[in-house]
Structure 1
Amino acid sequence: MKFGPASPADAIGGVTVHTLRQGALVLKKGTTIGPEEVEALTKAGVKDVVVVRLEDGDVSEDTAAAGIAQAVAGEGVNVERAFTGRANLFAARPGVLVVDRAAVDRINGVDEAITFATLAAYKPVVEGEMIATVKLIPFGVEGRLRDAAVAVAGKDTLRIAPYVIKKVGVVSTLLPGLAPKVIDKTLRVTAERLAPAGATIIAERRVPHDETVLAASIKELLGLGAELVIVFGASAIADRRDVIPAAITEIGGAVEHFGMPVDPGNLLLIGSAGGVPVLGAPGCARSPVENGFDWVLMRLLAGIKVTRSDLTGMGVGGLLMEIVTRPQPRTVPDTEGNRNVAAIVLAAGRSTRMGGPNKLLAELDGKKLARIVAEQALASKASEVIVVTGHQGDLVEQALDGLKVKFVRNPDFAGGIASSVKAGISAVSDSADGAIVCLGDMPLIDAQLIDRLIETFAPDRGHLIAVPVSEGRRGNPVLWSRRFFKELMTLDGDIGARHLIAKHAEVVAEVPVEGNSAFLDIDTPQALEAARRG
């Protein structure tokens, strides 16, 4: 290929390398010079124009790009007509993108004139999504280079593995303190994950966290035709001999691998039983946010076997978020005695179970419930007290008249408790290291318990969530490190944050309590009457 300046008359048949502007003349890059262009250039007084000309054995940029794109396109891949030296490739069907990385590297190694870029391997794609592009740098290349790139491409350099698993069974194990609504949300999130693949949950079971009972449930789901079984444990898997892996082996299955170098997602377990894959889901799989569980799930749905070497090879790029158990470079680690924790009192609910009256305005020992909780928060070591109001907000705020609290109105209070949590978190001062979320209908929560939670909160020792516990049952209020504020802001509906406690079990510090102060919420007339009787 010849490249260089030429007079307009000598440039005939050449292609302009740059856009040329002179006076009223505009000649765009890539224009083939013909008699009309020569006349226009001459009239404009242009002496020279930089052009390229193909020589014998050369092929144009579009011809080269199209040839290489066709060579790499495997099953489920469409190639768009090449234009300006670029040929784009698109998914012809939904599925998972499978890439022969070695072939991609070979193509890019043929010559600097040829480039080939793809999306990340194993990315889930939808029909019509652009997945790769072949781009020629110059306006043409030697035909032998195009042929060399085609030769090293190999068969199915790119292909779309279609989703083949459609029937999924789910088992949730139970322990005291795991609310049914957490499982309900987990199922909803899982169904949303499966939907792009056209897969559905054909059956779900909720059983005690016991290997024998769990084994029977997995076997039952397999008998119902499940092509994939997902187990959500009430407690995170800690060892290959733990409940979930033990249940898999009890029915003659095998554990392929436990643990993966993707965070969040470290505690994933993959096994099989009767030729069907079985996943022990990490706690983060309860959240809709992308995590290592997604990386494995979508491959399995596309019929791609995930081996131990596949999992151990996910480390590069596997850090999807900051690891909460380690201080971050931009964060000054908290030290004991230097805790700045805000208290958030949720007082926005509609009191639907009270049958009409606002429970927060009901009186106990001569004080309204909302005021009792707010006063205890103010008497604690909390650095500030934020009260979230909504339903009958003016009346609730009047009930707290004279108290040094910060009011935040939640206009979306009817949508559930999550909106109030988010409103409160949004109002926390930037200087706060964390926030303790108190419910306005729990009048037995006192300043002493709040202080114990604050004292237990120790980020420098990995204690990032503090929760009261009695006889294995977790109650309220719960203290959250600022590092979880972003996740708290993703809550939705009438589901609280219990699933986040399960997800981050390794950083939860439990505070033993006696009695029912951490559990008694007054949300019915009967509960109010019982509290008044003492």
Structure 2
Amino acid sequence: MKLIRTADAVGHVLCHDITQIIVGETKAPVFRKGHVVTEEDIPILLSVGKENLYIWEKQEGFLHENDAALVLAGLCGNDGMSWSPVREGKVDISAEHDGLFKVDVDRLFEVNMVDEIMIATRKTNTVVRKGDKLAGTRIIPLVIDEKKLEEARKLAGDAPLLSIMPFKKKKAGIVTTGSEVYHGRIKDTFGPVIRRKLSEFDVEVLGQKIVDDNQEMIREAIVSFIEEGADMVFCTGGMSVDPDDVTPSAIRSTGAEVVTYGSPVLPGAMFLLSYYNGNIPVVGLPGCVMYERRSIFDLILPRIMTDDKMDKRDIARLGHGGLCLHCEVCTFPNCGFGSSG
């Protein structure tokens, strides 16, 4: 820091906030730390009693907070994202289009372990809409040693820390099992729920086939939808371990590779995920999806809609944050449910 006359401060950077106090009216900063003094600022600074100012002296090998915040924003990436103008050493990053927000959590952790810098983000695998804020960057002091930023660059690597996977337009088939529905003893209430959730995305529902608790009928219904051009098939009913619940075995009989039967999510433990021909999701949805406001389906569907293919480890990671608390007022996804996904 260097103390200079206020009249000579044009073009220099303030090292601290300048506060204006008017008794009974206001007590607030008129200029923030990091502000670059202009000619128009001089009368205001003098009016608050600042005839001298502490300003930042540029030093070789050190960066001002504004420049450093831009460096950190660059580590995050900008494909499908926009940056706010740097202000008071901070840059906000927002979504330019709808999609699934992805964070390389491990690399972000390593970057945030570097002293005096920070990048805060939304949780990974969050649905975002155009204009949503994704992240914010800044350094802690007014100036920072460039060596720390170089360390952050090395830890971040060449790939951006953040990305947005755009949602795809898809076709879906719904296979509803259960003798009680098939024979008309009760009205199907599962199909409307699935259609409503799919309507949040660009999905054409090819139709709904209601079949008996019969492995061959279920298999034929799944395969027929795929032959009609379905990009994904959702099977409802028959997902428990009861002897007459044959949906899991029917899915297997199509030749689809089962990633998991069971998930560490409540509601949603009896969930099945498989892929037909390696890339068409065939999903078994447990009964809870029909009556719970949010469930495993809400965590998985956005990833299916971006072709974000999941393996067993992806499903296992959902256990941390996989407990829905059934809040009286549901705020999902702005809550802990699915927070580790």
Q: Tell me, yes or no, whether TM beats 0.5.
A: yes
Say which SS state the counterpart of residue 196 (structure 1) adopts.
coil
Q: Which whole-Å CA distance do the structure 2 matches of 1:100 and 1:134 have between them?
A: 16
Once the two structures are superposed, residues 257-284 of structure 1 have per-residue CA deviations (whole angstroms, 9 ceiling, x without a partner) of 1111111111111112233211100212
Match of 2:138 among 132, 135, 138: 135
More helix by share: 1
Q: Which whole-Å CA distance do the structure 1 matches of 2:109 and 2:136 have between them?
A: 14
1:193 equivalent to 2:192? Answer no
Distance 1:214 1:39, change over 3 A: closer
1:216 equivalent to 2:220? Answer yes
Q: Which whole-Å CA distance do the structure 2 matches of 1:241 and 1:254 have between them?
A: 22
1:115 equivalent to 2:114? Answer no
Q: How far did residue 41 of structure 1 move?
A: 4.8
Match of 2:297 among 289, 293, 303: 293
Distance 1:110 1:38, change over 3 A: same
Q: How far did residue 295 of structure 1 move?
A: 1.0
1:115 partner letter = M
1:99 equivalent to 2:103? Answer yes
| Structure with larger Rg | 1
Distance 1:190 1:44, change over 3 A: closer
1:246 partner letter = S
Distance 1:267 1:79, change over 3 A: same
Q: Which whole-Å CA distance do the structure 2 matches of 1:48 and 1:198 have between them?
A: 61
Contact 2:6 2:51 in 1 (8 A): no
Q: Which whole-Å CA distance do the structure 2 matches of 1:95 and 1:143 have between them?
A: 34
1:289 partner letter = R
2:211 partner letter = V
Q: How far did residue 68 of structure 1 move?
A: 1.9
Distance 1:8 1:39, change over 3 A: farther
For structure 1, list consecutive stretches of 5 or more residues without a partner in the other structure: 323-482, 490-534
Q: Which whole-Å CA distance do the structure 2 matches of 1:123 and 1:40 have between them?
A: 45
1:248 partner letter = I
Q: Which whole-Å CA distance do the structure 1 matches of 2:133 and 2:186 have between them?
A: 39
1:207 equivalent to 2:211? Answer yes
Q: Which whole-Å CA distance do the structure 2 matches of 1:54 and 1:286 have between them?
A: 62
Q: How far did residue 166 of structure 1 move?
A: 0.4
Say which SS state the counterpart of residue 72 (structure 2) adopts.
helix
1:156 equivalent to 2:163? Answer no
1:201 partner letter = V
Match of 1:145 among 145, 148, 151: 148
Contact 1:60 1:140 in 2 (8 A): yes
1:260 partner letter = S
Match of 1:314 among 314, 318, 321: 318
Contact 2:176 2:191 in 1 (8 A): no
Say which SS state the counterpart of residue 176 (structure 1) adopts.
helix
Once the two structures are superposed, residues 62-114 of structure 1 have per-residue CA deviations (whole angstroms, 9 ceiling, x without a partner) of 222122212321543333332221212222222211111112112211222x1
Distance 1:288 1:181, change over 3 A: farther
Distance 1:86 1:171, change over 3 A: same
RMSD of the TM alignment (CA)?
3.2
Q: How far did residue 176 of structure 1 move?
A: 2.3
With normalisation by structure 1, the TM-score equals 0.54
2:61 partner letter = G
Partner of 1:304: 308
Counting only pairs closer than 5 Å after superposition, residues 105-504 of structure 1 correspond to structure 2 as 105-112=109-116, 114-154=117-157, 155-164=159-168, 166-176=170-180, 183=188, 185-233=189-237, 235-238=238-241, 242-275=245-278, 276-287=280-291, 289-321=293-325
Q: How far did residue 303 of structure 1 move?
A: 0.4
Q: How far did residue 182 of structure 1 move?
A: 5.2
1:134 partner letter = T
Q: How far did residue 213 of structure 1 move?
A: 0.9
Once the two structures are superposed, residues 315-351 of structure 1 have per-residue CA deviations (whole angstroms, 9 ceiling, x without a partner) of 11111126xxxxxxxxxxxxxxxxxxxxxxxxxxxxx
Q: Which moved more, 1:302-311 or 1:71-80?
A: 71-80
Distance 1:293 1:148, change over 3 A: same
Q: Which whole-Å CA distance do the structure 1 matches of 2:185 and 2:83 have between them?
A: 49
Q: How far did residue 231 of structure 1 move?
A: 0.2
Q: Which whole-Å CA distance do the structure 2 matches of 1:250 and 1:172 have between them?
A: 17
1:138 partner letter = P
Match of 1:85 among 70, 85, 89: 89
Q: Which whole-Å CA distance do the structure 2 matches of 1:10 and 1:80 have between them?
A: 31
2:122 partner letter = L
Q: Which whole-Å CA distance do the structure 2 matches of 1:43 and 1:126 have between them?
A: 45
Q: Which whole-Å CA distance do the structure 2 matches of 1:192 and 1:200 have between them?
A: 12
Q: Which whole-Å CA distance do the structure 2 matches of 1:274 and 1:295 have between them?
A: 23
Q: Which has the higher contact order (CA 8 A, sep 6+)?
A: 2
Q: Which moved more, 1:19-28 or 1:274-283?
A: 19-28
Runs ≥4 residues deviating over 3 A: 6-11, 22-27, 30-54, 177-182, 239-242
1:76 equivalent to 2:75? Answer no
Contact 1:229 1:278 in 2 (8 A): yes
With normalisation by structure 2, the TM-score equals 0.82
Contact 2:273 2:282 in 1 (8 A): yes
Contact 1:264 1:321 in 2 (8 A): no
Q: Which whole-Å CA distance do the structure 2 matches of 1:286 and 1:172 have between them?
A: 12
For structure 2, list consecutive stretches of 5 or more residues without a partner in the other structure: 331-341
User: How many residues are matched?
Assistant: 320
Once the two structures are superposed, residues 194-239 of structure 1 have per-residue CA deviations (whole angstroms, 9 ceiling, x without a partner) of 2333122112100011111111111111111111110001x44227
Contact 1:165 1:303 in 2 (8 A): no
Partner of 1:63: 67
Q: Which whole-Å CA distance do the structure 1 matches of 2:80 and 2:38 have between them?
A: 41
Say which SS state the counterpart of residue 116 (structure 1) adopts.
strand
Partner of 1:17: 16
Distance 1:181 1:79, change over 3 A: farther
Contact 1:11 1:33 in 2 (8 A): no
